[in-house]
Structure 1
Amino acid sequence: MAQSRNTILIVLAFFAIYVIWGSTYLLNKIAVQELPPFMLASIRFTIAGLLIFLICKLTGIPLGITKKQLINTSIAGFLFLAFGNGFVVWALRYVDSGFAALEISAQPLVILLMMRILQGKKIQPLSLIGVAIGILGIYLLVSQQQLLNRENSVLGMVMIFFCMISWAYASLFVGKADLPSNYFVNTGFQMFAAGIILMIGSLLIGEPWTSPTDWSNPVLYSMLLLIIFGSIVAFTAFNYLLKVVSPEKVATSTYVNPIIALLLGWFFLEEEITTQSAVAAVVLLTGVYFINTRKKIVLFTRFSGKFGTKDEL
C-alpha cells in the first residue's frame, strides 16, 4: 500500500516538473501582455514567498535564519529570480513563449562553460560534443529570419541569454554559500527577497500598478497558477523527486519543459512552430543530453538555490 502511494506521488511529482514548469512560459506570456513585467514577477514571488512562510508556520518549520543566510538568500533571489526570471518575463513581450523555453534549455551548456571559466573544471569529451551541438542548436534557433524581423526580438533573445548567465553564476554562488538548510525556508526567503527587489525596480522605472480587480480573467488565472503551482507545488515536487529518484531522471525535465512550452504556445496562443525551430529543438536538446548524460549530470534547483554536479563535467 505504501509503495503504491509512493508511486502515485512520484508520478504526480514528475507531472508537476514536466507540465507545470513547462506551462509557466505560457502563463507569463499571457500575463505580460496586460501587466508590466516587473510588477507581474514581483507580485508572483512576493505572494509565493509569504505563502511559504505561512505554510512553514502552520507546519512548525522554524523560519529563523542568520544574518549571513539572509544576505545570501537575497543575493540568490536577485540572481535566480529578480534578474534571472524577471527579465525573462520582460523578454516575453518580444519573443514567443516556446522560443524562450527552447533558448533557456541551453542553460546546462552555459553553466558548464562558466564552471570551466571561473572554476577551471575539466570538460569531458562527451560534454565537449554536447557544447558544440548545443551551440549549433542555438544558432539554428536564433538565426531564423522571420524571428529576426520582429520588433525588438533580438533584444529579447539577448536579454534571455543574460538571464541564463545570471542563473549560471547564481548556481555556482549557492554551491558554496551559507544558506538555510531547509529547502522550503530557503525558497521562501529567496522568493520574498526577489519580490521586494522587483517591486523596487518596478516603482523606480515607473511601471503602472493595477489592482487585481482590474485584470482580465486570463491574467488573473495565470497569476494564480504561477503563484500556487509554478512557484510552490512544482518546487516542492522537484525537491521531493531529488530525494526519491535518481538525479538523471529528475534532469529529464530539461528536455520536456521546452517541448511542453512549444506545444502550449502553439495551441493556446497560435505561436508558429517553424521547421527550423523544430530542427533547432532536436539539435539543442541533443547537445544538452550529451552534457547531462550519465555521470555528467548538471542539476540546479530553480528556486532552492542548491547546485550539484557528479564527477567531472
Structure 2
Amino acid sequence: MSHHTTAAAETPASWLKIAAFAAIYIIWGSTYLAIVFAIETLPPFLMAGLRFLLAGALLYTFARFKGAQAPSKIHWRSTFIIGGLLLLVGNGAVVWAEQYVASGIAALLVTTEPLWIVALQWAGKEKTKPNKIVLLGMLIGIVGMLVLVNPWEAAGSIELWPSLVIFIAAGAWALGSLYSNSAPLPSSQVLTTGMQMLCGGALLLLAGTVAGEWQTTQWSAVSQQSWLAFGYLVVFGSLIAFTAYSWLTRVAPPAQVSTYAYVNPVIAVFLGWALANEEITLQTLAATALLVTAVVIITLNSKH
C-alpha cells in the first residue's frame, strides 16, 4: 500500500519536471528574440536593469515571506559579485550587442559558455586539465565560432565587435557560475536568485545612467511591442524560467539540466527566422551544428 502511495506521489513530479524543462528550453530560447523586440524602442541597459530589479524584488520578497533567513553582509557581497558577472556583463553585454547582431546569432555565441568553463577551470587554482574528448569538443566549438563570425571576411559577414562582446559576456557568465559554486550564499535558492537580480539590476541601471540613456530615451515613444516584450522577460524569462531552473538543479542530474545550453540556440535561431525575418544561411546552420555538437561533447564528458 505504501509503495503504491509513493508511486502515485511521484507522478506529478515527473510532469513538473517535463514542464520545468520545457520552461528552460523554450522560454530561455525565446528571450533572445524578446530582447530584440524590447530594445527596438527601450534603451538596452535600462531595460535589462529594470527587468532584473523588478524580478529580483519579487523573488526576494517571496523568499522572505516564505521564511527565508535575512541575508548577511557576506551573502550580499557574494551576490553582488555574481550579479555583476552574470547580469551586468553576462546579460547586459548581450542585450547591448543585440542592437547589431541577430538574436539567433547572439544565442549561438552564448553557447561558448561551456568552453569558457573548461578553459577557466584549466587556468584556475585547481589546474583541472580536460580529457582528450573535452579538448576535441573545445576544438569543434572554436571552429564553429570561426565559421559563424568568419573574422577574415570583412564584407557581408556578421558584425565582428558585437560578436566579440557576446563571446566575452559568455566568459563572464562562466566565471560567475564557477564563483557561485564556492561563494558563501544563503541556503534559500530563491532568495539567492532574488539577491543576484537586485544587485545585477542595480548595476545595469547604473550602466544605463552613465551611458546617458535616461536623457536620450523618448519614453512616450516606447512601443506597445517593446513593453510587452519587457513584461515577457520579467515574468517568463526571469521569474518562471529561473524558478524552474533553480528547482531542476535540486531534483535532476546536472548533465540533464545543462542540456538547455544546446537546446536554447536552436530554439532562438528558429524563432528569429520565424518571427523576426532573421536570415538562416548555410553558414549559420553549419555553425549551429558545430557549436551544439561541441557543447554536447563538453557537457557529457566534463566533471563539473
Report the TM-score when normalising by structure 1: 0.89
Amino acid across the alignment from 1:36: P
1:122 and 2:145 matched: no
CA pair 115-122 structure 1, distance change in 2 beyond 3 A: same
Q: 1:192 to 1:147 in 2, by over 3 A?
A: farther
Counterpart amino acid of 1:293? Answer: L
Whether the 8 Å CA contact 1:95–1:156 is kept in 2: the answer is yes
Equivalence for 2:209: 203
| Structure 1 position 184 matched with structure 2 position 195 | no
Determine the structure 1 residue equivalent to 2:5. Answer: none
Give 1:70 deviation, angstroms. 0.8
Give 1:254's aligned residue: 261
The equivalences for 1:205-224 within 5 A come to 205-208=211-214, 214-224=221-231
Whether the aligned pair in 2 keeps the contact of 1:212 and 1:220 (CA below 8 Å) is: no
Alpha-carbon distance in 2 for matches of 1:263, 1:7? 28
Unmatched tracts of structure 1, length 5 or more: 298-308
Per mean C-alpha deviation after superposition, the further-off stretch among 22-31 and 1-10 is: 1-10
Question: Does the 8 Å CA contact 1:144/1:276 hold for their aligned counterparts?
Answer: no
Task: Check the 8 A contact 2:88/2:203 in 1, yes or no.
Answer: yes
Pick aligned residue for 2:25 from 9, 12, 18: 18
- Identity, % of aligned pairs? 37
Specify the alignment match of 2:4 in structure 1.
none
Q: Quick one: structure 1 residues 221 and 147, their matched pair in 2 at CA, closer, same or farther if it must change by over 3 Å?
A: farther
| 2:119 is equivalent to residue 113 of structure 1 | yes
For the pair 1:100 / 2:106, whether they are aligned, the reply is yes
Question: Which blocks of at least 5 consecutive residues in structure 2 are unaligned?
Answer: 1-7
**Partner AA of 2:18 in structure 1:** V
Amino acid at match of 1:225: Y
**Would you say how many aligned residue pairs link Structure 1 and Structure 2?**
295
The answer as to 2:83 corresponding to 1:77 is yes
Structure-2 residue corresponding to 1:53: 60
Q: 2:128 is matched by which residue type in structure 1? A: K
Distance 2:210 2:143 in 1: 39
Secondary structure of the residue aligned to 1:84 is helix
Q: Distance in 2 between matches of 1:96 and 1:173?
A: 30
| Paired residues of 1:109 and 1:131 also in contact (CA < 8 A) | yes
Q: Which amino acid aligns with 1:264?
A: L
TM-score in terms of structure 2 length:
0.91
- Report the counterpart of residue 280 of structure 2 in structure 1: 273
RMSD: 2.0
* Structure 2 match to 1:302: none
1:39 matched residue in structure 2: 46
The structure having more radius of gyration, on CA atoms, is: 2
Residue 148 of structure 2, aligned match among 114, 118, 141: 141
